[in-house]
Amino acid sequence: MGLSGMAALPRTLAAIAISVGGLALFLVFGSWLLISHPIGSTLHGYFLGIDRSAKSKLGPSLLGFENSTRIVLPSNVTNVSVGSVASNFGNGGEGFGDSLNFTSKVRRFSPSPPSENSSKVYSDEVDPVEAALPSMVMPKNSSVDDSEIFASYEVGELRAQQGGCDLYQGSWFYDSSGPLYTNNTCPSITQTQNCQGNGRPDKDYENWRWKPSRCDLPRFDAKKFFELMRGKTLAFIGDSVARNQMESMLCILWQLKGPPNRRMNPIPISPCNSKNRGNRRMQRWFFKSASVTIVRIWSSWLVHKTSEPFSFAPAGVVKLHLDLPDEDFMGFLPSFDVVVISSGHWFAKESVYVLNNEIVGGQLWWPDKTRPKKIDSIEAFGISVETILAAMATHPNYTGLTIVRSYSPDHYEGGAWNTGGSCTGKVKPALLEREMVENGFTNIMHEKQVMGFNRAVKKATNRSRLKLMDITKAFGYRHDGHPGPYRSLDPNKKTKRGPNGQPPPQDCLHWCMPGPVDTWNELVLEIMRREFEGNKNSE
């Protein structure tokens, strides 16, 4: 090698060193850029199991809000066509007519995107969180900041990529072990829900159980229930469907055997003499060995009602003061530790709506067709939900757990209960979503209930807790679980369709016992367990 080659060698090494250094700087800068931007967050989350994009949208870390007011919001919302309400509720439903001009204010998610021709009845009042929690419904124009919103969700039940278990997303499976009780082992079944006792020939509807997608829903453990509720009171408040659930709870608890091998028979406490439409306004049952009281309070609308004349509404027709809670049970509220509350179906009945001391609407009643209604029955229901839950969440002496059971779907197909609707012949669940019959009225009532719930949560001031037990979509699949025509012991009752195809009189609203309604109480127990013991073993 000549002298010129020797002289060139240092320059070559210097060039290589400069190139390597430049490449290193490029890699360092590129890595920083990836980590600092969305694609970097995605990759970082993929390798480390952390979704930083979700964290940035939601604000503070999960563990910072464990003692906050905690709620769970549903995801089972599908687009609702206004016209479907009329066709699904009494073929146009007397009393709805001009009251069908409503607008849906909550967007529901469906497995597939809506078609371009589908009815879009959204408003900007409520909008879902986009990527991190795709199944939550959140206020879009809320004055509450992100950290406050995030504080209102329970850690173990977030519908996020955090691995938590959503109890209300799942499927039904056949469980050959059978129901928790039989119609012969429980003396508290109302005859109209005693499907086997009334001659229903099939029994498989008793054996289907609900399975959340990411965890198990344990079979009801009566011992665990009494352990959690020792010395406490559980109240079911609402209409006849609430009574249906209360009787299911009694039937389940009745099966537990205590020493000496005797059933845990509850002691009935004399109910109040006051009655409503033939229903006892209050029933109380006491399990002495566990010091647990079960209460049922009849409240068909959950708000204050009167039959006295008001403004241009005469005596006799029920006036609902939508901004006042039902005082019949609010006075008992401080003595309750857990309240399961539900309503909705009575808003199809005749009533007058009063808001701010003014008549603003009516259902099956409106004397002056030239006078416009300000609200319809669906809006009235949403207002009532906000009223009663806000009253409970601000009651100065109530510290209990309020479980709001969402709107219970009925399964009248081909019409309403009084216009030829039927669930006759349904012997198994709809196992696929396409097998379900869309019920626009159920969907919109559910939406209004969720909106009322959300607004009430924002008003909470006491130490009570609000939880939404969102059973509406899951139970949309259970068209097989109703009494149908098997509502009585009458040996001559009609159970088959007539010569012209007309269905027999039937009940497609309440639930057979045993049957799907027992799942509601398994969910109640799981919510109580999570609330009283934390979320361990819930995933």
Residue 264 near residue 248, CB atoms below 8 Å: no
Question: Mind listing the pLDDT tens digit for each residue in 210-247?
Answer: 999 999 999 999 999 999 999 999 999 999 999 999 99
Quote the pLDDT of residue 24.
Answer: 66
**Cis peptide bond prior to 514, omega within 30° of 0:** yes
- Among 171, 240, 335, 488, which one carries the catalytic annotation? 240
Quote the pLDDT of residue 41.
Answer: 36
Lowest mean pLDDT, pick from 282-286, 383-387, 423-427, 532-536: 532-536
- Extract the tokens encoding 431: 């196992």
The percentage of the chain sitting over the pLDDT mark of 90, rounded to a whole number, equals 56
Distance CA 89, CA 378 (A): 12
Phi and psi at residue 326, in whole multiples of 5°? -75, 110
Residue 269 near residue 291, CB atoms below 8 Å: no
Distance CA 21, CA 27 (A): 10
Name the pLDDT band for 28 (thresholds 50, 70, 90).
Answer: low
Name the pLDDT band for 271 (thresholds 50, 70, 90).
Answer: very low
HSE-up of residue 425 (Cα within 13 Å, Cβ side) = 8
Catalytic site residue 326? no
The percentage of the chain sitting over the pLDDT mark of 70, rounded to a whole number, equals 65
Residue 405 near residue 74, CB atoms below 8 Å: no
> Do the strands 465-469 and 401-405 form a parallel or antiparallel pair, or are they unpaired?
parallel
- Does residue 122 surpass a pLDDT of 60? no
21 burial (CB, 10 Å; 0-12 / 13-18 / 19+) is exposed
Is the pTM value of this prediction over 0.75?
no
Altogether, the residues listed in the chain come to a count of 539
Mean model confidence pLDDT for the chain? 75
Question: Kind and range of the H or E element at 306?
Answer: strand 303-306
- Extract the tokens encoding 376: 């319809």
414 vs 293: which has the higher pLDDT: 293
Distance CA 121, CA 115 (A): 13
53 vs 19: which has the higher pLDDT: 19
Instruction: Identify which of 320, 324, 460, 323 has the alpha carbon closest to the alpha carbon of residue 390.
Output: 460
Quote the pLDDT of residue 369.
Answer: 86
Question: Mind listing the pLDDT tens digit for each residue in 39-87?
Answer: 333 333 323 333 333 333 333 222 222 333 333 333 333 333 322 233 3
Residue 342 near residue 68, CB atoms below 8 Å: no
Lowest mean pLDDT, pick from 41-45, 126-130, 139-143, 356-360: 126-130
The H-assigned helical ranges of 103-162 are 146-150
Question: Kind and range of the H or E element at 401?
Answer: strand 401-405
Quote the pLDDT of residue 435.
Answer: 85
DSSP 152-166: TB-GGG-SSTT----
**Cis peptide bond prior to 499, omega within 30° of 0:** no
Residue 125 near residue 131, CB atoms below 8 Å: no
Catalytic site residue 422? no
Name the pLDDT band for 144 (thresholds 50, 70, 90).
Answer: very low
Three-class secondary structure of residue 355 per DSSP? strand
Cα distances (Å, whole numbers) of residue 160 to 57, 62, 157, 392: 12, 11, 9, 29
Question: Mind listing the pLDDT tens digit for each residue in 444-496?
Answer: 999 999 999 999 999 999 999 999 999 999 999 999 999 999 999 999 999 99
Quote the pLDDT of residue 20.
Answer: 62
Quote the pLDDT of residue 418.
Answer: 78
> Do the strands 137-139 and 126-128 form a parallel or antiparallel pair, or are they unpaired?
antiparallel
Three-class secondary structure of residue 62 per DSSP? helix
Distance CA 299, CA 293 (A): 19
- Extract the tokens encoding 328: 């019949």
Name the pLDDT band for 106 (thresholds 50, 70, 90).
Answer: very low
Catalytic site residue 240? yes
106 vs 364: which has the higher pLDDT: 364
Instruction: Identify which of 507, 302, 493 has the alpha carbon closest to the alpha carbon of residue 424.
Output: 507
Quote the pLDDT of residue 13.
Answer: 53
Name the pLDDT band for 96 (thresholds 50, 70, 90).
Answer: very low
Quote the pLDDT of residue 171.
Answer: 95
- Among 304, 446, 482, 510, which one carries the catalytic annotation? 510
- Does residue 15 surpass a pLDDT of 90? no
- Among 326, 328, 507, 518, which one carries the catalytic annotation? 507
